[in-house]
Amino acid sequence: MKYAFFPGCTMANRLQFAEKSVRMVVPEFGIELVDLAFTCCPEPNAVRSLSEDTWVTFAARNIALAESEGLDILTACAGCHESLTLAKHELDTKSELKDKVNGILKGMGLEYKGTSSIIHVHQLLFDEIGLETISSKVTRPVPIKVVTHSGCHLLRPQKIMKVDDAEAPVKLDLLCEALGMESLEYMDKVMCCGAGVRKADNETSYAILKEKMTSIMMVEPDAMVVFCPTCYITFESGQRITNRLFETDFKLPVFYYTELLAIAIGLPDTDKLLADHRVKIELPEPVEAKSDKSESIPI
Amino acid sequence: MTDEGRNQELEELRKAGRPCFQCGICASSCPVFRVAPEMNPRLAVDSVVSEGHVPVEGNEWLCSYCLMCEERCPMGVSLAEILIGIKNISSREGKAPKDFVESGEALLASGCLSPQSNRSDKKRVDLGLPDLPQPDLEQVKLIFEATGAYEVLEKNRAAAKEEAE
Amino acid sequence: MTTSDPKGSAEPTEIEVVSTDSELRIGVFPCMCGKNIGAVVDIEAVAEYSKTLPGVVLVQVNRYTCADPGQREIEEAIKEHGLNRVVVASCSPTMHEDTFRKAVKAAGLNPYLCIMANIREHVSWVHRDNPEAATQKAKDLVAMSVAKAATLEAQKELDVPVTQAALVVGAGVAGMQAALDLADSGFKVNLVEKQPTIGGIMAILDKVFPQNDCSICILGPKMVDVAKHPNINLITMAEVETISGYVGNFDVRVKQRARYVDIDKCTACGDCVEVCPVDVPSRTDQNLTWQKAIQIPFPQAVPSSYFIDQDTCLGMDLIRCGKCIDRCEQEAIVSSDTARYIDFEVGVIILATGFNPASPEKIPRLGWGRYPNVITSLEFERLINAAGPTEGKLVRPSDLTKPHSVAIAQCVGSRNIDTRMNCSNFCCAESVKCALLIKEHYPDTEVTIYYQDLRMHGKYFEEQYLKAREEGVKFVRGRVGEIQQYPKTKNLRVSVEDTTHNRLEMLDFDMVILSMGAEGQSGNFPIPISCTSDSFYIESHPKLRPVDTSSAGVFICGGAESPKDIRDSVIQASAAAGRAAIILQKGRYPIEALSARIMQDKCNRCGTCEKRCPYGAISQDGTGKFTVTGALCQACGTCAGDCPQDAIYMPNFTNEQIEAQIQIALAENPEDKIVAFACNYCSYRGSDLAGVSRMQYPTNARVIRSICSGRYSTKFAQKAFELGAGAVLYSGCHLPADCHFQTGNHWMAKREPRIRGWMKRNNIDDERFRVEWVSASEGKKWQTIMTEMAEVTERFKKSKPKPKKPSAKPKKKTEPKTKAKPKKKTATKPTKATKAKSSTKKSTTKKKGGK
């Protein structure tokens, strides 16, 4: 199965190891990635706030590019996923808008038709590949306690994104459990990390992060797992800023899911991925060689 | 955009907000309101519908676009999108915050918000990542041109200059 | 689905003619009505003209035809001259049609052979300034009525017997009340209940608002009354499977599930419970505790008997279990019990199937089902109930400790686009009651109610609200956004904005009660009764007939109609019983004399008529034949309006009669004329009101009355235009819900695009056809429409080439120019098109080939 890969500029230029983990993992499941000349998705908050027309046109251009190659798009960032999915929804439901945008795209030899679908690595792993296949490939389980943060832009608005239940998401937890982790429930699980307001008001953004981290630390996890590079950066680096601003002491390691997947299915050179983490963690050896196949939903 | 166009746009935002019956679910779900009481999405919608603007100028930029309010609104009011609409209007008036304008400039200059740097290139090579094909910047310019984004940037540059003086 | 059992409604293919006269002997009675008509219309001229009309043998002018002498004159004229049709040219039929029909009947003539020509409200009162034209119009209207009278047929006034028994479906408090009222009135009642016991939701509540008296204590005696009433046949563990027939004559088949316990032998001693090995979550106790597979819902259950839940019982034989059989000293357990059918006949049906408490499962952000200390109001009722799982102690499910702080959240699942848009009516009062109960048992526990609007709408409610505030219950205006659980303590954090103070509150509570709303579960009944989109039964008229349905003989009450509390349920149940009793005690149910008949030789069995009828009066039998059940037909004619084969005969409003009227109306100077169709209940009365109010307008219109606008076929407009009409008006009751026959106006509206399509193909200007909605109070609107359409005829007259010489006598029916008649319904746009058309009357398109 071939996809047009859309890492997004944050992942490509700031979280390269996360991109690497995706590229390492997907061939193991028979997926081939193609790189196209995408622009920024564009960022659903910053660019859309300046001009909706600009936002939807950039998104249409990116989708049209994939369509011209006959490929669906695989996103790895929640922001990109939301941006492209919402734009597609707008274009598919408002024919006047579609015509207007195609008028602009015509000038660059592209046309938005609506034939390509947009899928995030989360959906690829859970919906397409499936927990059973993933568990069956696990050779080195990762027995740590984690909390998951699916991210605002992967979950909402649920009616359009259709990734998971927006109020009680479980899929990322199940994906973690398939790798031998114990996923803990915690308060404010679906709360935003605060990234969206950082450009407008720095302190407010970190105040939000502080609230989120406080709730997370209540359950004492070993690490947290995300599926978006912006969330990753916010949690990992943001913790330090929060500590500085509010005299807290957060130091929770963060993982982008496919890193752990790469480790669990025994791919080589995963140390290189972890080397770039700012908050390090020593991953414990599994107690038994067998992988833990429990699929219970944590209470 | 003409005055009439702007008014119509505002009218549509107000119409979108009319179903709001001020229950307060949005406010209790908003992460920003939780830490910054000046950003109350319920009051923002009420103000837009009855007065045509947010309660305090600049309020709209405090929205983190987490979409919690929209997800939970029992009347199906698309709050976050109404605020995006207000942000569009403010941007055209040159009132976008500095960092947002910078994002716009970065997009124009390089087609992405987090531009490549030598450091990042090196990292990619180290990790064995492929060179990503670069977008045609002419196309970026074309989109900016056709969607009025140039004007938005201009307005904000001018406003920033004025402030500096 | 129902198959019609036409007891007493004949379906002739030949239309019966009661009068055996082969010769038409029409009597015309023009009335001066004092000066009301005589001052404007030259009555003598009208009389003279009437004598020349075909079939007329007598013309007699009266000053006051409706007065006693006038009526007696008609009676004598009928007898003396052997009249077999009567046309009274006077006031509006809505005024005196019944009066004259009674007179005609007294003379021995079938009343349906008497019709009227409206020359007062439609002529003399509105054309004061133009007596000449008014007189001409009066002549035309009389001629139209005479032409209609020529083909009138006598109609029988039949009725059907009413079985003196009732079916009440659902035995909650509403069903019980309705059953008791009917039984006390002396009628036999079959009370069918799905659950093993009667009592519904009320039986499991603790105390009820506003007196806060014990629910089962006040309901219990009523339940016993139901059990003991000689006129009530109680059938529990049963559902209605099929119903056939119609009002007065319903054949009901009920399927009763196996109870496995003989209710006559069971003494409810409870010995069986001690030996049953199967634990089942307790339905009565909202799954908060366990019962056994053999169980009684609660001690006061009626029938007072246990039952076995066959899904969870291990098996009533000695190999699998059968312990209860051994234990039962009364030998009441019947392992061979099976489901059975019970058949009976009833005359009326009352639906009291209640509502479903809305599970908050659909709202995960409130944590019910995931966090043990978040409970619903019904779960609270069971906890605080002395007969409940904790013997009346309010405890936290997570650790069985007493809660020190309780939050109550309102509008859970109601007033929400994702679940139900409507308010559930009782939850605000319910929450105040819960708060008062908590305070009564635990004065030190803090109680906070989070509400959006506190609807204390009922009698005595406001003082309970005051009492709650005085007891220290906190009221905060803000709808709960989310509830989160602390991982270790299982306490709850409630996030809500105090909107009065623009302040976010994230407070900790030991327990949260979610005020459950009501979910509709109506529908899915063997007789199709319309339901709202949120599954509550729809009443015949929201104000004037709130317990009737559009199916004659079927009534609704209680929670099945809309969410309500106990008092309103009881009120509505008695209302339904009262309405049902009217039919029962009369003993006979009238069949509409003018009900539709399907002419089987013309019918091609397309089934369109069945789809049009809002009363379910048309059905197809086993042989594929479509027939009308006279007892259900209301004679609206919507079926006939869309019948592609013209195979439906609407007595007194036949295609032939209407087309004859159109022809007469357009016999001379058709380009001047507006052929105006007006429905009996709204538009015709609106036009009458214009007359009563003496609103003046031009004389162009020739009104053709029908019972409902659903009758107006596309063919009438086409015929009128083919005969050269200047303009055509189709006027009906306002959309969406004013039609007195439910949906007639909707079907009429759907025909507009087809008519306009035909007009376009025949180069007829759009503005010459109008579809309007005129209510009985809109006389002014009628005047405006008449004036505007007169201008349209002026424009039309100017634009067309000189008309041929007008013919003096009414033309014979000509073959209509054949244009492709659309057999299928073309995709129609909804009524927005209608409104647009009426407001763009001014835009004329230049006619091709112009002047």
pLDDT tens sequence across B45-75: 999 999 999 999 888 999 999 999 999 999 9
CB pair distance less than 8 Å for B132 and A12: yes
**Domain match, C229 and C288 both:** no
The set of chains that have 3 or more CB pairs under 8 A with A is B, C
Residue A66 lies in a domain: yes
pLDDT tens sequence across C534-545: 899 988 888 889
How many distinct structural domains can be found in chain A? 2
**Domain match, C546 and C459 both:** no
**pLDDT by residue for chain B (165 residues), tens digit each?**
567 777 888 999 999 999 999 999 999 999 999 999 999 999 999 999 999 999 998 889 999 999 999 999 999 999 999 999 999 999 999 999 999 999 999 999 988 888 788 888 898 999 999 999 989 999 999 999 999 999 999 999 999 898 888
**Domain match, A169 and A100 both:** no
Residue C598 lies in a domain: no
Among C497, C518, C539, the domain-final residue is: C518
**Domain match, C293 and C350 both:** no
C-alpha–C-alpha distance, residues B51 and B62, integer Å: 19
CB pair distance less than 8 Å for B28 and C478: yes
Q: Tell whether the model's pLDDT for residue C819 goes beyond 80.
A: no
Decide: residue C702, CB within 10 A, 0-12 exposed, 13-18 middle, 19+ buried: buried
CB pair distance less than 8 Å for B100 and A46: yes
Which domain does C684 fall in, by range? 653-800+827-845
**Domain match, A88 and A165 both:** no
Contacts of C504 in chain B (CB under 8 A): 27-28, 33-34, 37
**Domain match, A103 and A17 both:** yes
CATH number of the domain encompassing residue C377: 3.50.50.60
- Give me the total of CB pairs closer than 8 Å, taking one residue from chain B and one from chain C: 65
CB pair distance less than 8 Å for A218 and C486: yes
- CB contact C644 to B (< 8 Å): no
Q: Tell whether the model's pLDDT for residue A161 goes beyond 80.
A: yes
C609 within 8 A of C639, measured Cβ to Cβ: yes
Residue A156 lies in a domain: yes
Contacts of A191 in chain C (CB under 8 A): none
Among C495, C498, C502, beta carbon nearest to B43: C502
CB pair distance less than 8 Å for A207 and B35: yes
Contacts of A168 in chain C (CB under 8 A): 364, 370
Among A19, A50, A208, beta carbon nearest to B129: A19
**Domain match, A152 and A251 both:** yes
Contacts of A212 in chain C (CB under 8 A): none
Which domain does A43 fall in, by range? 2-121
Among B36, B63, B148, beta carbon nearest to A53: B148
C-alpha–C-alpha distance, residues C398 and C403, integer Å: 11
User: Bridge partners of A120?
Assistant: A75
- Cα–Cα separations (whole angstroms), residue C412 to C197, C418, C427: 29, 11, 9
Measured in angstroms, the CA of A19 and the nearest CA of chain B are apart by 8
- Residue A182's pLDDT band, with cuts at 50, 70 and 90, is very high
Per-residue pLDDT, B59: 87
Which chain B residues in 2-41 lie under 8 Å from chain A, judged by CB atoms? Answer: 31-32, 34-36, 39
Q: Comparing C-alpha atoms, which of C785, C582, C577, C612 is closest to residue C697?
A: C785
- CB contact A54 to B (< 8 Å): yes
**Domain match, C366 and C459 both:** yes
Among C518, C534, C558, the domain-final residue is: C518
- Residue C433's pLDDT band, with cuts at 50, 70 and 90, is very high
Among A92, A121, A150, the domain-final residue is: A121
**Domain match, A24 and A86 both:** yes
Measured in angstroms, the CA of A16 and the nearest CA of chain B are apart by 6
Task: Compare C158 and C8 and report the one with higher pLDDT.
Answer: C158
Q: Residue A85, SS3?
A: helix
Among B23, B34, B37, beta carbon nearest to C479: B23
Q: Residue C672, SS3?
A: helix
The secondary structure element, H or E, covering residue C733 is none
* DSSP 8-state class, residue A124: I
- CB contact A18 to B (< 8 Å): no
Per-residue pLDDT, C663: 94
Domain(s) labelled CATH 1.10.1060.10 in chain B stretch across 3-92
Query: Which of A189, A191, A297, A299 is the best substitution to test chain C (most C C-beta atoms within 10 A)?
Result: A299
- Residue C12's pLDDT band, with cuts at 50, 70 and 90, is very low
Query: Which of B90, B113, B142, B154 is the best substitution to test chain A (most A C-beta atoms within 10 A)?
Result: B113
**Domain match, A264 and A136 both:** yes
Percent of chain C with pLDDT over 90: 77
DSSP assignment of C157-211 equals --EEE--SEEEEE--SHHHHHHHHHHHHTT-EEEEE-SSSSS-TTGGG-SEETTT
Per-residue pLDDT, C15: 36
In this prediction, residues C738-752 reach a mean pLDDT of 90
Read off the pTM. Answer: 0.81
pLDDT tens sequence across C764-794: 999 999 999 998 888 999 999 999 999 999 9
Which chain B residues in 71-100 lie under 8 Å from chain C, judged by CB atoms? Answer: 72-76
CB pair distance less than 8 Å for C481 and B27: yes
**Domain match, A157 and A267 both:** yes
Tokens encoding A253: 């390691």
Side-chain half-sphere of C71: how many Cα atoms within 13 Å?
15
**Domain match, C33 and C94 both:** yes
**Domain match, C210 and C243 both:** yes
**Domain match, A31 and A111 both:** yes
Residue C106 lies in a domain: yes
Q: Tell whether the model's pLDDT for residue C806 goes beyond 70.
A: no
Contacts of B27 in chain C (CB under 8 A): 478, 481, 497, 499, 504
**Domain match, C87 and C108 both:** yes
Q: Which fold has domain B3-92?
A: Fumarate Reductase Iron-sulfur Protein; Chain B, domain 2 (1.10.1060)
The set of chains that have 3 or more CB pairs under 8 A with B is A, C
**Domain match, A266 and A141 both:** yes
Residue of A nearest to C495 (CA): A188
Q: Tell whether the model's pLDDT for residue C805 goes beyond 80.
A: no
Among B39, B97, B142, beta carbon nearest to A107: B142
- CB contact B159 to A (< 8 Å): no
The secondary structure element, H or E, covering residue C220 is helix C215-228
Per-residue pLDDT, C542: 84
Decide: residue C818, CB within 10 A, 0-12 exposed, 13-18 middle, 19+ buried: exposed
**Domain match, C674 and C549 both:** no
- CB contact B108 to C (< 8 Å): no
Measured in angstroms, the CA of B49 and the nearest CA of chain C are apart by 17
CB pair distance less than 8 Å for A165 and C493: no
In total, chain A counts a number of residues equal to 299
Residue C72 lies in a domain: yes
Per-residue pLDDT, C10: 40
A33-46 residues labelled b (16+ CB within 10 A) or e (exposed): bebbebbbbbbbbb
Side-chain half-sphere of C205: how many Cα atoms within 13 Å?
25
Query: Which of B114, B129, B140, B152 is the best substitution to test chain A (most A C-beta atoms within 10 A)?
Result: B114
Query: Which of B39, B103, B110, B142 is the best substitution to test chain A (most A C-beta atoms within 10 A)?
Result: B103
Residue A59 lies in a domain: yes
Per-residue pLDDT, C825: 43
In this prediction, residues A202-231 reach a mean pLDDT of 95
**Domain match, A13 and A39 both:** yes
In this prediction, residues C577-600 reach a mean pLDDT of 93
**Domain match, C510 and C561 both:** no
**Domain match, A249 and A141 both:** yes
**Domain match, C369 and C394 both:** yes
Measured in angstroms, the CA of C839 and the nearest CA of chain A are apart by 27
Measured in angstroms, the CA of B57 and the nearest CA of chain A are apart by 13
**Domain match, A156 and A248 both:** yes
In this prediction, residues C664-677 reach a mean pLDDT of 94
Q: Comparing C-alpha atoms, which of C640, C648, C680, C675 is closest to residue C660?
A: C675
CB pair distance less than 8 Å for C370 and A168: yes
In this prediction, residues A178-204 reach a mean pLDDT of 94
Measured in angstroms, the CA of C376 and the nearest CA of chain A are apart by 19
- CB contact C477 to B (< 8 Å): yes
Per-residue pLDDT, C802: 62
Among C468, C492, C518, the domain-final residue is: C518
- Give me the total of CB pairs closer than 8 Å, taking one residue from chain A and one from chain B: 194
Q: Tell whether the model's pLDDT for residue C72 goes beyond 60.
A: yes
Task: Compare C811 and A16 and report the one with higher pLDDT.
Answer: A16
**Domain match, C138 and C200 both:** no
CB pair distance less than 8 Å for C487 and A219: yes
In this prediction, residues C115-120 reach a mean pLDDT of 95
Q: Residue A185, SS3?
A: coil
The set of chains that have 3 or more CB pairs under 8 A with C is A, B
Residue C536 lies in a domain: yes
H helices of chain A, in order, are 9-14, 16-25, 46-50, 52-68, 78-93, 95-106, 121-123, 131-137, 152-155, 158-161, 171-177, 202-217, 229-246, 257-264, 270-275
- CB contact A168 to C (< 8 Å): yes
Starting from the edge strand earliest in sequence, which strands make up the sheet with C238-246, in order? Answer: C238-246, C249-256, C340-346
Q: Tell whether the model's pLDDT for residue C659 goes beyond 60.
A: yes
How many distinct structural domains can be found in chain C? 5
Which of A32-46, C538-552, C649-663, C823-837 is predicted least confidently? Answer: C823-837
- CB contact B1 to A (< 8 Å): no
Per-residue pLDDT, C738: 79
Its sign, for the CA torsion B120, B131, A198, B68, is negative
